[in-house]
Amino acid sequence: MYVSAIIVAAGAGQRFGGSIPKQYLSIGGKPVLYYTLQTFEQCAAIEEIVVVAAEEWLAHVTQVIVDRFGLAKVKKVVAGGNHRQDSVYAGLKALEGPPDIVAVHDAVRPFVSVAKVDEVVSACMKYGAAILAVPPKDTIKIEKDGFVEKTPFRDKLWSVQTPQVFRYDIILEAYARAYECGVYQTDDSALVERLGYPVKIVEGEEQNFKITVPLDLSLAEMILSAR
């Protein structure tokens, strides 16, 4: 099967702050996005990578990251949209072939392992849709009007990661239907679930965290130093 990956790097990182989006900040002397792309470059299952970036960062991604580090599997760097969903859709439309399977991954999750990418891709080949997720460490509360409404049982909860992997026809249908209905989600599998497709959960790994706030960047530096 032909497997493509979409790396979503179009976010502005508003929660992180600063003038440079976090995916372009340096850890261990290289941009965060480099480490993400390098993992997918090394993954034998991945044939093609499309990076989705903000218009003003397209040249930077191409010249400073893709060309500089010789990332041969990156076939295109395309402009994203106003929302994550728009950016993923731009990536889907940029894929050639079309592929059999698509993996969608956040650029600011630089430490997903090749083994986990392989595992979730294999699950998708079997089930049609699969995601990485980890059990939450904390008790979760559901709020209403500023007060606790209820406390769900933690053994049924999962904290979702990426990559999320889908048969190309399924994810394309999910996106088309979402736009028809005016539905926007920050989670790709939620769009697939709307259509009634089952989504397989593959247990992820704690190191596959999303760099969201400055403290996360410090943690990323610590992980690189430990390696």
Domain boundaries, the chain: 3-218
Query: What is the topology classification, in CATH, of domain 3-218?
Result: Spore Coat Polysaccharide Biosynthesis Protein SpsA; Chain A (3.90.550)
Q: What is the pLDDT of residues 159-191, one digit of tens each?
A: 999 999 999 999 999 999 999 999 999 999 999
Note down pLDDT in tens along the chain; length 227 residues. Answer: 999 999 999 987 556 656 799 999 999 999 999 999 999 999 999 999 999 999 999 999 999 999 999 999 999 999 999 999 999 999 999 998 899 999 999 999 999 999 999 999 999 999 999 999 999 999 999 999 999 999 999 989 999 999 999 999 999 999 999 999 999 999 999 999 999 999 999 999 999 999 999 999 999 999 998 87
Distance CA 184, CA 177 (A): 11
Task: Round to whole Å and give the CA distance between 125 and 47.
Answer: 15
- What string of DSSP letters covers 22-50? GGGSEETTEEHHHHHHHHHHH-TT--EEE
Beta strands in 19-146 (DSSP E): 26-27, 30-31, 48-53, 74-79, 101-106, 129-134, 142-144
Cα–Cα distance, 100 to 103 (Å, whole number): 10
Peptide bond just before 163 cis, omega within 30 deg: yes
Rounded to two decimals, the pTM is 0.95
